[in-house]
Structure 1
Amino acid sequence: MPKAEETILEVDLKALEHNLNHLKSRIPKHTKFLAVVKAFAYGSDACEIAKHLESLNVDYFAVAYTNEGVQLREEGITKPILVLHPQTVSFTTLIKHQLEPNLYSPKILEEFIEVASALNYNNYPIHVKFNTGLNRLGFAEHQVDYLAETLKSTEAIHLTSIFSHLAASEDLNEREFTLNQINSFKRIAETLTKAIGFKPIMHMCNTSGILNYPEAHFDMVRSGIGLYGYGNSEKENKNFKPISTLKTVISQIHDIEPGESVGYNRAFTSKIPVRTATLPLGHADGIGRQYGNGKGYAIINGKKAPIVGNVCMDMIMVNVTDIACKEGDEAILFDANTTAEDFAETANTISYELLTSVSQRVKRVFLK
């Protein structure tokens, strides 16, 4: 891999392919694969990731919001794109770009039918989410009859899939809760299928669901974090390759005398001679203030250099007292060895938050 000369996020597309192949190896051959590329493809680059995954023949993509789907269409992505959390104000734009909405409540369902009808659409593909325990979005089980009658009363839309979302699929201590969710979804699907006279695509599993609950693979699975290299457990992580490396360079080295402070609010005051290195990235780049004062670190010449004082907007200072290094040397925040999960744990958060926080001002470099 090339040595960093500035702050960059390297994205390894071969690792992405490895992760996709591993996930596919865990599901039946007939089961469709939906790749979740919301939030800038978990902080990497949604368009580049989607282009590569489309070349590898994934069946579907999912984004959170309409504008994310529009960007994919404008970059030439042709596979179906599910918008997980559309807002009514964006329905016309969504339809214009042939995106497929998740309709999760009576209000949003009826408003979408109204828009699609006004535009003279027939059988526009839609998806319906059911709430089986996450209590975030979705129709309740008691609304199945209403939903069936509404679907049968219009020709403007066609129900392509029904789905739900597991709340704790990575936590095997919550297995009973998860199995109750799965059984609830099966019951809902059976009732709705009988009422409407055909069977839509069923999907429920996220990455940990794919790995832990094969009985819930159904017709399609959805994966986000697994594609980007994380299996949500020490055991499963061994089968994945993190695709992203956040690296930068040492801008300047300072010798700090006893009694001198470093950074804003004088959050660090030295009691002994200390050497610090200043790195050109900060909380505007995704390394939040919660990583300051010795929690987070950079890897410089194979050794951990803890963050000194508060994280600044565009810079962090790290302790290199015991590390042989010079200005211009490379510093790694996370990679395939010291992972985003490892780094995130220092501030009691998760890899998802860290990865999706990497600012788009950080240059992306794709390794093919």
Structure 2
Amino acid sequence: MDKTPSAEGRPPRAALTGLERSTLRELLIHGPKSRAEIARDLGLSRASLTRVTRALLAEGLITDGAVELRGATGRPSEVLHLRPEGARFLGVKLTGDRVFAVVTDLAARALAEYDEPLSSTRPEDVVAQIGGAYDRLAAEHPGITAAGVGVAGDVVAAGGSQVVRESPFLGWSGVPLADLVSERLGIPATAENDMRALTAAEHWFGVGAGYESMVLISVGAGIGVGIVVDGKLVTGAGGRAGRLEHLPVDPSGPRCERGHRGCLAAYVPNSAIVGALRTPGLDYGQVVALARGGDPAARQAFREAGHALGLLTATLANTIDPERIVITGDGIAVTELARDELDAAIALHRDPPGAPLPLDIQPFEFDEWARAGAVLAIRDFLRF
């Protein structure tokens, strides 16, 4: 039987049963519930629920709360609460030149963070750096239960493991990252495309909590799309679901780095916005400042990016019909500087015209990417 260490440093705990995982998920996603509510929602008998709650209480993963009246009628009931400090998780985000790490509790609340430059992009060196970050963080927060790693690229399940099929930023192909990290850390590890990891985090702990369907759009160095349908992350057969960077926008527009004319990648990424000004030495922050100051060329670059982003948003709304669409990323300034163009493009391409679109614009913090890795570990811990 698989064993994982508890957060308090107790002996390794037995892997959770299916009913225990289901009960924890109910409390994690929907909040405190009475035993009667849990039994009803999960279809459990009283005897089964008693066994499950006894085990979870013994493991320190849940706790009894106050007696509450949970409905308009009926008797007050003792309410069960998730005990977030009952388990800890390591989250990692890899970029082409840095490793970001965070320790969270079971509710994905960050307890400690660490980051450093990558000394090398060779898989063995990156795994060694992840191990060093784990050792540093575990010294302060011992008993980490599992780890999750988010990486830009195609990540697929192969032979029961997550393999990085391709990661251009790291120059990787066919790297069994989850297995390598698990072997180095001595705890279960999972790996996933960073965009899907961020989507999972928003679905469970962010603006998508409680929804069965959502779309997350991230704009910045590239264009990422994460999709949840029927409560499940959409991955695709080859791990490439959501690859819409080259969706056509204007057949007479500028070319992207792959030579496509007028696609999303020619307008929306930060590099495309900078390149539109044709001024050597500028970076994205400077172009944002120019646009805020009224510079005509910078404003035009953002207007074109806003139009393209609106087309993508409407296309996803028409295709998925989600309950929520979230836009975030370190290129989020486009939603500030070109909101009129964004809204106009959505209205133009929305089908049927005028259909409501539940859009959330979320401020971006880079450490959310590492926290998303921890959410991967939490989901894997609960076998979701």
What's the TM-score once normalised by structure 1's chain length?
Answer: 0.26
Structure showing greater relative contact order (alpha-carbon pairs closer than 8 Å, 6 or more residues apart)? 1
